[in-house]
Amino acid sequence: MTATEVGETSEPVAKAPPTERPPARLTWQKLTFLPVALIAVLLATWLWFQQADLDALTRNALSGGQVTKALWQHIQLTAISTFFVLIIAIPLGIVLTRGAASRATPVVMAFANTGQATPAIGLLALLVIWLGIGRRAALIGMIAYAILPVLSNTITGLKANDPTLLEAARGIGMSPMGVLRRVELPLAVPLILAGVRTALVLNVGTATLAVFGGGGGLGVLITTGITNQRMPVLVLGSVLTVVLALLVDWLASIVELLLRPRGLQP
């Protein structure tokens, strides 16, 4: 082997620096694509209505601000039910991961699974029989139907935390509440937010059944279109429900990305 060859072989090889995945961030594509698509769907629906031959019954079903009223009722049902899901499921999930209370987790999860496994229309019918016709029955049914994903994700997120991190936090003198607030919950945020996002979309869909309990919402338009065989009313109620569900999911995904702890960005 020549000296030149020895020099070449002994020369250290420069290693490329390890590449790091850039943190997920909000780009204009993420912010605009879905809203633009939804606006296009709404515009196409409006143009179809402009050229459609609407009879007197259809015009009566869509006049007098009834569409706006139904949409607003739908949003209210979704927001109120999701609020109660959060204030019930997240604290309950925290309690079920603490000490002796964790023994009750299988029982509580069985009840939560029963609530979602029961057909929504059947659950609503039972609640109407028990509570009478009105928004209260619809809201309780929606809460029971959507509580599972938030509760399950809260428990899973808290139990998935690395025990060594929790032990280190206790070792530097943090109180149990401090460990929960400053270590456990921040680490569990991604899973909890994913459960909240799922619950929101579930509530938008379930709110269409509130009409059968006297709760109003976009289900009024859908049932009117079906019972009276008026396709424009049915189409409008269905399109608005789908658009609202996709919009809520988009907003929840943005909030999920914004609230995710920076160190946990994918």
Distance CA(47)–CA(41), nearest Å, equals: 10
Does position 28 have pLDDT exceeding 90, yes or no? no
Q: What is the pLDDT of residue 262?
A: 62
Q: CA angle at residue 74 from 259 to 143, to 5 degrees?
A: 65
Q: CA angle at residue 140 from 224 to 62, to 5 degrees?
A: 20
Q: Which residue has the tokens 């139990």?
A: 159
Positive or negative torsion for Cα 55, 45, 254, 205: positive
Q: What is the pLDDT of residue 6?
A: 44
Reported as a pLDDT band with limits 50, 70 and 90, residue 125 is confident
Average pLDDT taken over every residue of the chain? 82
Q: What is the mean pLDDT of residues 93-105?
A: 86
Q: What is the mean pLDDT of residues 128-135?
A: 85
Decide which of 86 and 182 is more confident: 86
Four-way CATH pick for 64-264: 2.160.10.10, 3.40.50.720, 1.10.3720.10, 3.40.309.10: 1.10.3720.10
The percent of residues above 70 in pLDDT, for the chain, comes to 86
Decide which of 14 and 124 is more confident: 124
Q: What is the mean pLDDT of residues 128-155?
A: 89
Distance CA(182)–CA(143), nearest Å, equals: 29
Does position 119 have pLDDT exceeding 50, yes or no? yes
Decide which of 55 and 195 is more confident: 195
Q: What is the mean pLDDT of residues 204-226?
A: 89
pTM: 0.80
Q: Which residues contact 166 (CB under 8 A, 6 or more apart)?
A: 179, 183, 184
